[in-house]
Structure 1
Amino acid sequence: MSTHDVPDVLIIGAGASGGVAAKHLAEEGLSVVILEQGNWVDQSDMPGLRPEYELLGSGPWHPNPNVRNRPEDYPVNLDDSAAVIGMFNGVGGSTVLYASCWCRAKPSDFRVRTLDGVADDWPLSYEELAPFYAQVELELGISGQPGNPAYPPGYAPPLPSLPINMAGRVMAQGMNKLGWHWWPGYNSIASRDHLHQKQCQRLGVCMYGCPEGAKGSSDVALIPDALAHGARLETGARVAQITLDEKGRASGAVYFKDGKEHFQPAKVVLVGANGVGTPRLLLMSESNRFPDGLANSSGLVGKRFMTHPFGTSVGLYEDDLEDWVGPTGEAIESMQFYETDASRGFVRGSKWHIIPSAGRPLGMINRFTMGEAGVADEPFWGEPFTDRMRSSVGHLIEWMIMPDDLPEETNFISLDRSMSDSDGLPAAKVTYVTSENTRRLVDWNLQRSLEAHEAAGATKAWITNRNNPSWHNMGTAKMGDDRETSVVDRWGRTHDVPNLYVIDGSQFPTATGVNPTATICALAKRTATFIANNRDQVVAW
């Protein structure tokens, strides 16, 4: 095969990072092929259009692939994990089902070792990443209010913030009484028509598919532009191995489609298969040159798995707050307790945000049956059930506490060869224990959230979840300057294979205390820009 027949870039995964990279590289004139193991999602098939959306969301559209169990999914062994994994395999990746919270990491997140003496500093700063945050915020139709004092000056989303629902306004008044920080939520949901996205109608079913096409998911906002500029997308393509040439450079990928084996050559390979799928693929790509997994001379591929084991608290209010009104992502957020205060007994902190909690009967039931402080023991059958639901639907406010989760090498992704997907490839195995620091962080913040409910006028408030899995998969191919203590460099390029890049949340040296999609997309944009600007050196074959 001549070099003219080999595409410049192969991207594995059509999710958030893959969509950002494919769009940018194709627009810059590079030839791009995307391999996605799932398929296109027809928006008309999404559960958000149906009254039984909660039931569908707990089965065929569940974030956990072990529950969803579609042919394009691979099993994940969770026997030794406190975290339940979430991801979606299809064009758009997990952005198809995510709540669309859009949160930049804060400057301190990049300097955890310097500031707090734990974990590691990132090899880049907030200031270096800020222009790339701004670029992807335009591409994904981010809505938000500029001027948030929790961030350095200059954070100005391209679209106005979505209206704050009544629940958010009531809680904002409570935060004002306490003198605590709050700000209108940032969401990758268009507050007015924007590029491929339509204006949000505030239906509040964002995690079950957006019937209006307002959500900035990769399949809506990114992939169409990549295809329009010449990128080729192969769906139903499950990658089994990244191959190497005789010089030790990545030469492409072996994949299965409809049970048949294929090979896709490329000059550069980018992996964006999420913090579980990416280490799984690298570990499956073992060879004589890399017997412990591709690009794994450091031994850190799969290690330092992080998630955001969040907590939630709920307050019951006398007034009807219409708290079902969307978006699902964030009504308001708070960074009041984000930075380290050693007197609290832990390091790092947490972002809080208000999420709609009513309008979802199954969710309502869970908030009572899983409640602490005696709530779960209250009568909840027959007439008490009817009375409880009548007095609660539309009367709840829920805080979600999103903690920083520090990396530990004892938390990791490995291969389980006793289980396999439909093509016979080994399952991923997650080994994860929630750290004592994360537990203390969540518990302390949950107690403060109860104080916020009281200040906002709740008649009752209780904790509904502690250390709940967030489905944020991070940290398993660490970024760093030292090849002995990291997998990729500051551009996402693996130290061991110069034309192999990791572009998803696997790169994160620390989890940060915010939802990771914004940082994943900004890093992918930065890597794609580096490749495009240096194509004469990078795209060599």
Structure 2
Amino acid sequence: MPPESHADLTAEVLIIGAGLSGGVAARRLAEAGVDVLCLEQGDRADRTAYRGEHPDWELTALGPWHPNPNIRKGRADYPIDDSRSDMKPMMFNGVGGSTILYGAQWMRFMPSDFRTRSIDGVGDDWPIDYDELAPYYDRIDRDFGVSGVNGDPAMPPQPDYPLPALPMSEAGRRISEAHARLGWHAWPGSNAIASEPYAGLRPCIQLGVCGNGCPVGAKASTDITHWPIAESKGARLVTGARVSRITHDAQGRADGAIFRDRDGVERRVRAEVTLLAANAVGTPRILLSSTSSRFPDGLANGSGLVGKRLMMHPFSRAVGFFDDPLETWRGHWGQALYSLEFAGTRPGTGFVRGAKWNLGPSGGPLGAALFPWPGEPLWGVAMHEHVETWLGRAAVWGIICEDLPEEVNRVELHPDALDGDGNPVPRLTYRLSDNSKAMMAFNLARARESLEAAGAARSLTVDLLPDFGWHPLGTCRMGGDPASSVTDPFGQAHDVPNLYIIDGSVLVTGSCANPAATIAALALRTADHLVAARGRASR
């Protein structure tokens, strides 16, 4: 809703950010009758503006639809200083957040991901375990209309997915058979992409452009799955609203936020409870900007950990080239197949923890031409031959490595640079550890074995793809001890009891699995906790 006047807004619960976790929380709270107001710095998505069905879709993906806000430079974006970061942050500002552009690979964390300290002596154990989160995973799967096949032997038992799996690609079939011969794990991909009509979602037609916004409406983004329900139940959504800081009262309790509206007017919201859902870059940015005499180092930062322990999932690809056409330009940009064969610690490898592999389509001709190529740049006839070799004949394993939480990797405020609204620019410091480098090298070598076992005539890999920093995590970790964590297990800030953090900031460790399902499940769990507390208070 556009602000009707410049008077203060009020709400029972204020949510900052209308993306994945903000949408999940808003829907649950509104369904329970809570008065919800959400501030979102971006706008509502216009599906007709997505370029996936147009000839320029690959060109616009390099500019106005690029997932990196520093390249996209949209009206809703703020600059991020990533000059000290090996990975560049990918995020989208708008209703639906990064679910507008994500691949919708829908994975649960494994039970061991919650106990890395106990099992491998690294990171920290979570204050909750898989079993505590499992009922929320189940509900989230239904809310997002997940397509998949139940029964993965590498995962705990779970209910059937609400929708059958999306079509298996020919490349996926060949690699699955190769893994069976190798004795390696492989399983049909689970995706938050509808294979059949489902709760406002349309069936996927296999365009292969999910990462540029789904023009069909098959991909589960919260502007489709959650915000229409939340608003129908009374939730209010203010777009074009960039929050600069959260305010507090004399007792140190959060009492709302200051934001600048799309007209450039500074305004405020007063609320009884505030939920931060601005992602693991935006959330510490706001907290560190919310200083006062009571909180000189930033709001909720008594532990000194706000912004620290940044994780970003180092990412690369292994590409196999087949002699016969496989139409690998087609298909959902989620995962046709995934493998958890090397997701856990293996003695003798020189590193701990592991990587998840996901098989997606190979993309269009421009993506083939621009993929990093070893040796000299390709020109002229050599370039045409390369694109012909790639297009429709390349199978691509995406390799997601688990990185460990380290305090030296962090989000902080730039001492000098400001955005267009006068807010400090976040500065990222993130370097790959020796553990991550060894993990990536090992997994890329195994992925080449996989592709060649499936019949690829040759294969190639690159060490790191910096422009795939889709998963910033961990900058406001949860825990039981206020001295070593920012929030409690429900995301409640230790220092500010009516402030909750519900995005990927609270993750203690990052797993190697795509984090969207876990972030959504945690947000739903926190919303349930707030609804229950509200019910107890009213009795």
TM-score class, shorter: over 0.9
Listed as ranges, the matches of 1:149-168 within 5 Å are: 149-168=153-172
Q: CA deviation at 1:342?
A: 2.4
1:310 aligns with: 315
Distance 1:463 1:371 in 2: 9
Contact 1:8 1:539 (C-alpha < 8 Å) held by counterparts: no
Q: In the alignment, does 2:73 pair up with 1:69?
A: yes
User: Helix, strand or coil for the counterpart of 1:466?
Assistant: coil
User: Helix, strand or coil for the counterpart of 2:344?
Assistant: coil
Letter in 1 for 2:104: S
Q: In the alignment, does 2:267 pair up with 1:265?
A: no
Structure 2 unaligned runs (5+)?
Answer: 1-8
- Give CA-to-partner distance per residue, 1:58-112, whole Å, 9 cap, x none: 1111111111111211110112111111111111101111111111100000000
Contact 2:22 2:502 (C-alpha < 8 Å) held by counterparts: yes
1:41 aligns with: 45
Q: In the alignment, does 2:109 pair up with 1:105?
A: yes
Listed as ranges, the matches of 1:120-269 within 5 Å are: 120-257=124-261, 258-269=263-274
Contact 2:253 2:497 (C-alpha < 8 Å) held by counterparts: yes
2:459 aligns with: 461
User: Helix, strand or coil for the counterpart of 1:428?
Assistant: strand
Q: CA deviation at 1:223?
A: 0.8
1:530 aligns with: 529
Distance 2:413 2:351 in 1: 33
Listed as ranges, the matches of 1:263-302 within 5 Å are: 263-302=268-307
Q: In the alignment, does 2:92 pair up with 1:94?
A: no
Contact 1:37 1:238 (C-alpha < 8 Å) held by counterparts: yes
Q: CA deviation at 1:341?
A: 1.3
Identity of aligned residues (%): 48
Letter in 2 for 1:511: G
Letter in 2 for 1:509: V
Distance 1:7 1:382 in 2: 61
Distance 1:476 1:321 in 2: 42
Contact 1:71 1:422 (C-alpha < 8 Å) held by counterparts: no
Contact 2:369 2:386 (C-alpha < 8 Å) held by counterparts: no
Distance 1:319 1:290 in 2: 63
User: Helix, strand or coil for the counterpart of 2:318?
Assistant: strand
User: Helix, strand or coil for the counterpart of 2:274?
Assistant: strand
Q: In the alignment, does 2:483 pair up with 1:484?
A: yes
Letter in 1 for 2:373: G
User: Helix, strand or coil for the counterpart of 1:529?
Assistant: helix
Residues paired across the two proteins, number:
529
User: Helix, strand or coil for the counterpart of 1:152?
Assistant: coil
Q: In the alignment, does 2:13 pair up with 1:15?
A: no
Q: CA deviation at 1:155?
A: 4.7
Q: CA deviation at 1:388?
A: 2.8
- Give CA-to-partner distance per residue, 1:505-541, whole Å, 9 cap, x none: 000111111111110000000000000011156799x
Letter in 2 for 1:40: R
Q: CA deviation at 1:311?
A: 1.7
Letter in 1 for 2:421: D
Normalising to structure 2: TM-score of the pair? 0.96
Q: CA deviation at 1:371?
A: 3.0
* 143 and 539 in structure 1: CA distance in 2 versus 1, 3 angstrom threshold: farther
Structure 1 unaligned runs (5+)?
Answer: none
* 329 and 539 in structure 1: CA distance in 2 versus 1, 3 angstrom threshold: farther
* 449 and 539 in structure 1: CA distance in 2 versus 1, 3 angstrom threshold: farther
Q: CA deviation at 1:247?
A: 1.5
Distance 1:224 1:517 in 2: 20
User: Helix, strand or coil for the counterpart of 1:312?
Assistant: strand
Q: CA deviation at 1:125?
A: 0.5
User: Helix, strand or coil for the counterpart of 1:113?
Assistant: helix
Letter in 2 for 1:119: G
- Give CA-to-partner distance per residue, 1:424-454, whole Å, 9 cap, x none: 1110000111111011111101000011011
User: Helix, strand or coil for the counterpart of 1:224?
Assistant: helix
Q: CA deviation at 1:137?
A: 0.9
Contact 1:143 1:157 (C-alpha < 8 Å) held by counterparts: yes
Q: CA deviation at 1:7?
A: 1.9
User: Helix, strand or coil for the counterpart of 1:154?
Assistant: coil
2:336 aligns with: 331
Letter in 1 for 2:97: G
1:342 aligns with: 347
Q: CA deviation at 1:382?
A: 2.3
Question: Which moved further from structure 2: 196-205 or 298-307?
Answer: 196-205
Letter in 2 for 1:533: A
Contact 1:499 1:538 (C-alpha < 8 Å) held by counterparts: no
Letter in 2 for 1:278: T
Equivalent of 2:362 in 353, 357, 362: 357
Contact 2:369 2:383 (C-alpha < 8 Å) held by counterparts: no
Distance 1:196 1:264 in 2: 32
1:419 aligns with: 417
- Give CA-to-partner distance per residue, 1:236-259, whole Å, 9 cap, x none: 000011110111111011110021
Q: CA RMSD in A?
A: 1.4
